[in-house]
Structure 1
Amino acid sequence: MNKRLFLKSLGLGLAGIPLSSSILREDLAKKVVLPKSISKGDKVGIISPSAATADRIQFQFAQETLEALGFEVRLGENLKNRRGHLAGSDEERAADLNRMFADPDIKGIICIRGGSGASRILPMLDYKTIQKNPKPLLGYSDITALHSAIHAQTGLITFHGPNGTGSWNSFNVRQFEKLFFERELVKFENETVKGDDLIVKQNRIQTIRPGKASGKILGGNLTVLTALSGTPFLPDFKNAILFLEDIGEDPYKIDRMMSTLKLNGTLDKIKGFIFGQCTDCNPSGGYGSLTIDDILDDYLLPLNIPAFRGAMIGHVPKQFIVPVGAQVEMDADAGTFRLLEKVFQG
């Protein structure tokens, strides 16, 4: 994921675009909105709200993946557009998302990839139409901007998980089927593989502070989430379970972003914390560095809430599909969390 242009993109997007009257200022959702369920044979749409896709075969891969899952596929009108690093202009990318939510024939929406740029379209989204036509939206990384804004403005549950061009291995496919087709109250538990070693080392959980907690699960990519601080697109984290992941960030940047979550009041509101994978988050030099362990201890231990790290969330081939806004119970000792209530209508 290339997030280097993200903060600049957020500033340009919000500075150049007035907040649309479609944003529900006085009418912010007070309750969670469940998306309508989807089934095999339904028509789903593929959109690109963030960065452009460079290789044409990736469009084919995404379409074939969704067809293999049992869906009929419609490509967004502007899916293959390009403007610099973005998948078309802000207006084009926002239009594709708005059209997919407004179209009654489309039952679900999948983002083809992340990257950067989704924040630029947040003021252009038709939140009233989204709230009136609740349907599942799937994606991760930069798509955190959409998950956060849509939940903050409408209360709709969306899904943090593989993008259309992501890895659709057997683990991810089975999890998708259990969640979307069988509508199970899924328990999210790391898959551990011993391999040719005396002990299990892959996908190990580390308990930061033991205990159990329940609440609405919110979060996503740390860089994207913290860049929404101070905007109407950051959800209310009161009594929430916060989950985070990131990629390619030095520990000092992780520290700065965790500091932002402390200073803006987010960390003081939450009841539990889950840290996924921080892929390639290694120090790049200087006079030494705090470790990710140090940073998480500094910010989380004083909160006296259950917390663990190592969940299969993030830029990893096998990843959980997290229903953003759903009620869950987490167990920091076991390193698991589970759905407490259904996440679809009906």
Structure 2
Amino acid sequence: MVKTIGIVSLSSGAMGEEFAEHEVKIGLKRLKEFGANVKMLPHALNGIEYIRNHPEKRAQDLLQAFQDPDIDMILCAIGGEDTYRLLPYLFDHGELRNAVSKKIFLGFSDSTMNHFMLHKVGLNSFYGQAFLPDICELDTTMLPYTEMYFRELISTGSIREIRPSDVWYEARIDFSPSAVGTPLQRHRNEGFELLQGRPRFSGQIFGGCIDTIYDMFDGTRFADSPGLCEKYHLFPELEDWKGKILLLETSEEQMSPEKYHQALLYLKDTGVFSVINGILIGKPEDEDNFEEYKALLLEDIGIPTLPIVCNINIGHALPRCIIPFGVMAHVDTEKQKISFK
């Protein structure tokens, strides 16, 4: 049972801005109702400019959260775009390895970088939700599917299985105070889709947001990102990927098919597709470019026997489940479930 949640801003500092005050208030109230105490790490509410200009303070907050014996769970405030800049402050002198302790770490999007950092020091983490986008949902409650998995995680410390949501929601556009209490437009969800390969396969899941993974190899957005990721060996060696299941989902920036193609080619060049047991693809936000992505997955990967399962409710499309990294997962598309042991 999670008693205390530490909230960190490791990428964007949006949580500390005045425009988000009403969202933060909603989220803190919900966490209290869930029975959790909350600690805001020292710099978590310092705002966008401060957080952008002080990656060393973001790293300091993460280290402090791991070292605080009262904190059971570390929850990312939101994603962002430059979490890779924490690397020198976490790895130059073994800071993260020396500080890390067994706690729940939950985040998604640009927090993919943090998941890769924690994997590097041997800590299993949880992918799929964050404070502002999920706990602070402006409707009268959290989205039921999202809340179900969050409650399971904080009450048991694990996720037993995930199944498809019955519905998916269009992305919220208005986050102003006037939008509080307004529902999202919903649509019927079609469930897990087996794109190719066998319907049942197993392995430990690892991966994240393909936009962020792309930044590990391509310097178009941040010129220094590939160099830093290579210096600290952030992307695991091929041996580490053997037998795993690769998770990929796309951000709210709705990656163009051309860029998606390039991202898949970067991954293909690593050799990862030749050693993994399968791929899970998150539903894109508002299902944008979904059919184009599917066609590219088949064409670019070029391994017909490799299972690819699409339409997982994970990442930037609403609602969101939570996927544990580093534990054995059993995917069964015929039974429409992914179970964990």
TM-score by length of 1: 0.76
Which residue number in structure 2 is paired with residue 258 of structure 1? 264
Amino acid at match of 2:150: F
Which residue number in structure 2 is paired with residue 52 of structure 1? 13
Pair 1:321-2:322 in alignment: yes
Which residue number in structure 1 is paired with residue 123 of structure 2? 156
Structure (1 or 2) with the greater helix fraction: 2
Pair 1:129-2:98 in alignment: yes
- Distance change >3 Å, CA 88–CA 65, structure 1 → 2: farther
Pair 1:178-2:152 in alignment: yes
Instruction: Judge conservation of contact 1:98–1:130 (CA < 8 Å) in 2.
Output: yes
Tell me which of 23, 39, 63 is aligned to 2:28: 63
Measure the CA separation in 2 of the matches of 1:141 and 1:212: 27
| Superposition deviation, residue 184 in structure 1 | 6.1
Amino acid at match of 1:258: L
1:14-65 residue CA offsets vs partner (Å, 9 max, x unmatched): xxxxxxxxxxxxxxxxxxxxxxxxx25x222111000121324133333223
Measure the CA separation in 2 of the matches of 1:56 and 1:178: 27
Measure the CA separation in 1 of the matches of 2:261 and 2:271: 16
Which residue number in structure 1 is paired with residue 225 of structure 2? none
Measure the CA separation in 2 of the matches of 1:145 and 1:292: 23
TM-score by length of 2: 0.77
Tell me which of 110, 113, 117 is aligned to 1:145: 113
- Please give the root-mean-square deviation of Cα atoms over the aligned residues, in Å: 2.5
- Distance change >3 Å, CA 250–CA 85, structure 1 → 2: farther
Instruction: Judge conservation of contact 1:51–1:116 (CA < 8 Å) in 2.
Output: yes
Amino acid at match of 1:49: L
| Superposition deviation, residue 161 in structure 1 | 2.0
Instruction: Judge conservation of contact 2:82–2:110 (CA < 8 Å) in 1.
Output: yes
- The within-5 A match list for 1:1-346 is 39-40=1-2, 42-53=3-14, 54=17, 55-57=19-21, 58-82=23-47, 84=49, 86-125=51-90, 126-131=95-100, 133-151=101-119, 153-167=120-134, 168-182=142-156, 186-193=160-167, 201-209=188-196, 210-229=198-217, 231=230, 232-235=233-236, 236-247=240-251, 248-279=254-285, 282=288, 291-302=292-303, 304-340=305-341
1:211-230 residue CA offsets vs partner (Å, 9 max, x unmatched): 32111100110011232356
| Superposition deviation, residue 331 in structure 1 | 2.1
Amino acid at match of 1:154: V
Instruction: Judge conservation of contact 1:61–1:165 (CA < 8 Å) in 2.
Output: no
- Distance change >3 Å, CA 45–CA 176, structure 1 → 2: same
- Distance change >3 Å, CA 130–CA 299, structure 1 → 2: farther
Measure the CA separation in 2 of the matches of 1:300 and 1:244: 13
Measure the CA separation in 2 of the matches of 1:92 and 1:275: 33
Instruction: Judge conservation of contact 1:218–1:240 (CA < 8 Å) in 2.
Output: yes
Measure the CA separation in 2 of the matches of 1:267 and 1:227: 19
Unaligned runs of 5+ in 1: 1-38, 195-199, 284-289, 341-346
Amino acid at match of 2:277: K
Equivalenced residues, count: 289
1:187-216 residue CA offsets vs partner (Å, 9 max, x unmatched): 21102259xxxxx95243321123321111
1:227-273 residue CA offsets vs partner (Å, 9 max, x unmatched): 23563112332210011100311111111101111011221221111
Q: What's the secondary structure of 1:166's corresponding residue?
A: helix
| Superposition deviation, residue 165 in structure 1 | 0.9
Instruction: Judge conservation of contact 2:268–2:301 (CA < 8 Å) in 1.
Output: no
Which residue number in structure 1 is paired with residue 176 of structure 2? none
1:90-133 residue CA offsets vs partner (Å, 9 max, x unmatched): 111111111110111111111111011211102312222344x1
Instruction: Judge conservation of contact 2:283–2:313 (CA < 8 Å) in 1.
Output: yes
| Superposition deviation, residue 333 in structure 1 | 4.1
Instruction: Judge conservation of contact 2:159–2:322 (CA < 8 Å) in 1.
Output: no
| Superposition deviation, residue 301 in structure 1 | 4.9
Instruction: Judge conservation of contact 2:278–2:308 (CA < 8 Å) in 1.
Output: yes
Unaligned runs of 5+ in 2: 135-141, 169-186, 218-228
Which shows bigger deviation, 291-300 or 179-188?
A: 179-188
